[in-house]
Amino acid sequence: MATPFWYNAALTLIKPLYKWQIKKRALNTEQLQQECLERFGPFQQPKNLHALWFHVVSVGETNAAQPLIEHYLKLGHPVLVTNTTKTGQARAKSLFLKAPYAHLFQAVYLPADQKHLVRDFYQQYQPKILALVETEIWPNLIDQAQQFKVPCLLINARLSEKSAKGYAKVQGLTQGMLKGLERLLAQDQATLDRYRNLGMDTHKSQVLGSIKFDIHAPESFMQKAQQLQQDWDLSARQIITLASTHAPEEQKLLTALKPDLAQHPELLVIVVPRHPERFDEVFQSIQSLNLSIQRRSLGQKIETDTQVYLADSMGEMWLWYALSQVCFVGGSLNEPGGGHNILEPIALNVPTVLGKNYFNFQTIVDEFVAVGGVQVADDADQAAKVLIELLTDQDEAKRLNIAAQQIMQKNTGSLAKHISVIDQYL
């Protein structure tokens, strides 16, 4: 079923705006040229034809798909990863573009969803299968998969109530996309029900749980964390990581933590902003609080008097979690918010706090909340208070971790189920 005329016309109209946005975000001319080639062609040569193609939007989806991608690379399958965001691509490359997988792995941006671009991409790369991870469905991408007879699966699928309402407004377009999916593997029943209400075929869709629960920290990051512990003499420090933060979360949380930082020189806050284009702005906002700060991007280390360490690098989140005693997961204090993945710190036994606006991860977070495996704060002041309490009250931190680990263990196994479905198409 071809995509509607109005959709393709709308894409043509917004293309200049899209290009302008890319230009605005680019860090230098070379990076801009590379990104434009990957998004608008002519496309670079494929490393391998007939690769397993995983489309992952950003960091969260890349991390979720990590064990799945790793499984197929270990078996010797070539893998192509496309991303929509810069941070997602940096994450994918940091995970897999190295020995022993470098010759099998390629990561590029997803081309803009114009029919001629997507068609050229399929022609050039000739993928064996396309696995869309979590929520990213594009009309021409799915339509051309059918034209080129590439099985298209939506895996580890999640859909919030808000997104479902959005898709319902363009019902014809949505139904066309869902018809083009060979299989839909949902994280939970609520997601499955929403997709079926939008028109997904019952026989092609099922609940397999979330592969996010099957994650483990890469060994390289654990070793790096141990090395930094020694090199930077961190054994006596009490470390809080503020992860995946959005404006103005850093400012608010650090303002609330400032009295504790002044009173306890052993206290250290690592700040990891979600978006790289905000790194300088975050640095300035921390400086305005008169806190002693060092920056990762300048190769600076944590000194004995460092109060805040700005982790303005990409693809190192596991490292910062591994150094922490407690953490806050951002994007959850703002309105509307939505939140980010809490499973990484939990996988490392780091007591986790987040704000109340976590609807992007509703089902997952609710499960932890029900057993007291995470702490949810209403505002920055409360979040700061809870973080300090968890640092000082070892028993409470331990209780939180035990409850969280029970949920992790209960939910593992989705990865194996996903693999058995994907294998049917290979």
d(C-alpha 22, C-alpha 35), whole Å: 8
**Which is catalytic among the residues 61, 134, 250, 344?**
61
For the chain, how are helix, strand and coil distributed in percent, rounded to 5?
A: 50, 15, 35
d(C-alpha 239, C-alpha 135), whole Å: 34
d(C-alpha 386, C-alpha 400), whole Å: 12
Cα dihedral 238, 243, 249, 253 in deg (nearest 10): -10
Pairing of strands 152-157, 105-109: unpaired
Upstream peptide bond of 100 is cis (omega within 30 degrees of 0): yes
134 is catalytic: no
d(C-alpha 35, C-alpha 108), whole Å: 8
Nearest by Cα to 308 from 281, 269, 272, 251: 269
The pair of structure tokens assigned to 368 is: 């932890």
Nearest by Cα to 134 from 115, 156, 113: 156
Decide: helix, strand or coil at residue 383: helix
Beta bridge partners of 153: 131, 183
Which residues are catalytically annotated?
Answer: 61
